Amino acid sequence: MTQYDLNLILNPNLSSEQVLTEKEYVEATVKNAGAEIVKMDEIGNRRLAYPIQKDREGYYVYYTIKASGNPLTTIGDVLRLRDHVRRVVLVKDRPEWKTKKA
């Protein structure tokens, strides 16, 4: 199984119940794709570099998942159809990105 980083930007105007619903949906989508969530970081509202759908802020949630095959088609495409999801970035984690240069 290969490790991937799944980064989501959600609508910043969501209530805590709506954010919880979106996170549960993401977890169910990842599970249905045959992947597992290793780690989840919830950053919260942050200012965006440019407006997305006229919003200057976004609610950031980062997942580290382990999946086999191509999760971009199974997970990424399903999450992009959600109304409250502004951006989905799914990147294969590479160990050389985490090494420090001398």
Tell me whether residue 44 is in a domain: yes
Give the pLDDT score at 101.
63
| Domain of residue 13, CATH code | 3.30.70.60
pLDDT over 80 (residue 94) = no
Tell me whether residue 31 is in a domain: yes
Range of the domain at 66: 2-94
Give the pLDDT score at 26.
95
pTM: 0.85
Q: What angle do CA 77, 80, 85 make, to 5 degrees?
A: 155
Burial pattern 4-28, b for ≥16 Cβ within 10 A else e, equals: bbbebbbbbeeeeeebeebbeebee
pLDDT, one tens digit per residue, over 1-60 is 889 999 999 999 999 999 999 999 999 999 999 999 999 999 999 999 999 989 999 999
Number of structural domains, the chain? 1
Give the pLDDT score at 98.
66
